[in-house]
Structure 1
């Protein structure tokens, strides 16, 4: 079945919702559960960096696989690993167990990074080469924020309810997340279709349903038998091409380096916020119950920020929208650090997420403008690789700083540094002025 651009977008939005709803359920709790089970703040930083380094090591190979064997196999495999890592996280009570869970999460995120978005762009542009992908990506980011907001609200409610007295109040959201991740994996297998894989073109009108089904099964089996060989032959070439494209484009080099500054800001509003919250309210369980609704609002304003960015880009351009979002995001992270008490932390947190949501689809659109179908997933993987590496190294610096001083001090340092990343959008701004998109 050949999908229209509108059909591809609908599937993108559905799968974005099911992909990120489980993330919302455990948002922040991934930090609080290890702390509750005796992991120190510095150890937590190491655990999170382990996940990041795994992503760093696998981003390019998995991006190459996505470009050479297709997006669907990697998306399904990532869903299976998401379930396994979540289950292991629930039962972990020692550092090494959490470390294994983080390694699995790293592999899952490396496989998941880029293929769905790349599948949408390629499918939509195959139907309509002039489809405005920035609007669809803005809508996807809006849906993403809404899904995490709903998940965070449900997760916080589960923590406050504490339905199973025999286990920690932080555990039930992880159990529900594992179930939802399994459902997402099945839905992905059904909805993602690629030419040359499960789609073989228009079926013969005289063929029976059973013959068409048998033909499809044969195609799938043939693809499965050839997967390893094609991965070995195709992935290195796709990786080399992706690195060549990034290295040969001043615009792409600058865009991927934005992630260094952006990732440092993310450490502040993703990792340090629940830790600071636990300080203010007196414990991990109390912080978990409050962080659910607090995060729900944050991801709702993230969704709003994504929607606003889609409209703003029509007036001032994609690059200028990205620049403004990057500057404001860093400034609001600084606000989180300098503001005293819970109200200031919450206000800064929400504003940081609004601008985080605005920045995402604009950055993605700028990347897609510089990529082509043959290397799109690999280019996205290079971008994610830089982000993951910067996040991991930043954790090793900021979590010890937070423990030696205060989380607020680390937030101020992170926000100030991240503002400088706006300068790296200037090559994309110049390219936008000289090119009609």
Structure 2
């Protein structure tokens, strides 16, 4: 089996449980007695855990290897999903979301880094960006398909002794168990140079050095700095379609209930549109190059968000929303490919973690600022304002036009 095939299988298994959870997690928490404010609080706990562990876990993956970190991540996720099946109190859900935060931090970057390193080991001139794009296709199909499967399981209610909302969770636990086995079977990597006689303690002492090396690379590379800025503005602007669009749709159709009914299938189709965008990204990159592809796709996403705010009919707004997701799916592998070109095997996951660390607070700031604008001036105005940082993000790709990958000398 090729490296790419193993990567895509593991990538699909990683995201399919997410698709199963998205439609039901909040509803399940409410059904088991949590208020929306409590759900918001435990979601914030997850974000804090991810932010605290993002960089250390990236350094850990670059130090001890991607395989053990991904295996640990899979086991933590399995534990969190199993607990979610039976969680029935605020504190139980808090533990679930904290474990999900640990999982997300451990899982952020190692699989992509393993694939890129393995592809380059086979062929130093490998175009690993094509594999990352196919990963985007798999991601979109897995989440979209998982969401549709969750809806079907809820409708069928195959476990009469529990709530219908629990069925997708049971399926997610089973899939996650398969993921653990698949990680052991499919993910192979040579021993890291930092492991050996010094033992685990000596190996772990290398983590701060890896983090410091990535920080020095960030200071030295204007391309990497520009890409981190892209992540900041991009994550801020994402809140327009992740947070505000359902509210905008409710305004256009005149009823939150009707909007909620529409958003279920539209959300699934949006992830499939993201997969289609990721499939087309390599074609654009071969024509324009990665930097100009990033500019074009990110600017196109800003225009799609503008259309979401300006169009006054629900059909047009939904079309703009789907276009936004398609462009999001297309630009994501372009961005990740450029990030990987600025790092190497010794710090690849840590550099990816730097981008994630930038994106988390930027998304939080975007949700606060754009929600405040929506309260003060209307959702339409907030969406139009959110298009501005997306347009600014497009400019960050210009730094990568002719600059070679950064070295670590």
Give the TM-score of the pair, scaled to structure 2.
Answer: 0.87
Deviation at 1:247, TM superposition (A): 1.7
Per-residue Cα deviation, 1:161-181 (whole angstroms, up to 9, x for no partner): 444567554432233222212
- Structure 2 residue ranges without an equivalent (≥5): none
* Larger RCO, structure (CA 8 Å, separation 6 or more): 1
Rounded Cα–Cα distance in structure 2 between residues aligned with 1:409 and 1:50: 30
Kindly indicate whether the alpha-carbon contact (under 8 Å) linking 2:370 and 2:382 is maintained by their aligned counterparts in 1. Answer: yes
Judging changes above 3 Å, is the alpha-carbon distance between structure 1 residues 90 and 348 closer, same or farther for their aligned structure 2 residues? farther
* Residue 315 of structure 1 pairs with residue 310 of structure 2: no
**What's the secondary structure of 1:171's corresponding residue?**
helix
RMSD of Structure 2 on Structure 1 (CA): 3.1
Alignment of 1:41-56 (within 5 A): 44-56=39-51
Q: What's the counterpart of residue 378 of structure 1?
A: 350
Specify whether residues 360 and 272 from structure 1 end up closer, same or farther in structure 2 by C-alpha distance, changes over 3 A only: same
Alignment correspondent of 2:394: 422
Instruction: Kindly provide the CA deviation profile for residues 195-239 of structure 1, in whole angstroms up to 9, marking residues without a partner as x.
Output: 127xx9xxxxxxxxxxxxxxxxxxxxx9799334312x2111111
Task: Give the alignment partner of residue 102 of structure 2, picking from 107, 125, 141.
Answer: 107
Matching of residues 101-180 of structure 1 within 5 Å: 101-163=96-158, 169-180=164-175
For residues 37-79 of structure 1, give each alpha carbon's deviation from its aligned partner in whole angstroms, at most 9, with x where no partner exists: 5533x66555434323322221110111001100011111111
Cα distance change of structure 1 residues 91 and 342 upon mapping to structure 2, 3 Å threshold: farther
- Tell me if structure 2 keeps the 8 A contact 1:325–1:359: yes
Q: Partners of 1:230 and 1:137 in 2: how far apart?
A: 30
Q: 1:227 aligns with which of 170, 178, 200?
A: 200
Unaligned segments of structure 1, at least 5 residues: 1-5, 201-221
- Between the aligned partners of 1:108 and 1:28, the Cα distance in structure 2 is 20
In the alignment, what sits opposite 2:62? 67
Higher mean C-alpha deviation, range 299-308 or range 353-362: 299-308
Secondary structure class of the residue paired with 1:129 = coil
What does residue range 2-401 of structure 1 map to in structure 2 within 5 Å? Answer: 7-34=2-29, 39-40=35-36, 44-92=39-87, 95-163=90-158, 169-196=164-191, 226-231=199-204, 233-273=205-245, 290-340=262-312, 342-399=314-371
Structure 1 residues 177 and 90: alpha-carbon distance in aligned structure 2, compared to 1, 3 A threshold: same
Q: Decide whether the 8 Å contact of 1:46 with 1:395 is kept in 2.
A: no
CA contact (8 A) 2:143 2:268 kept: yes
Q: Is the Cα contact below 8 Å between 1:23 and 1:148 reproduced in 2? A: yes
Shift of 1:26: 2.1
| CA separation of 1:429 and 1:160: change in aligned 2, threshold 3 A | farther
Deviation at 1:403, TM superposition (A): 6.2
Paired residue secondary structure (2:125)? coil
- 1:97, 1:400 → 2: CA distance? 31
Separation in 1 of the partners of 2:114 and 2:120?
10
Does the 8 A contact of 1:319 with 1:425 survive in 2?
A: yes
CA distance in structure 2 between the partners assigned to 1:260 and 1:345 by the alignment: 25
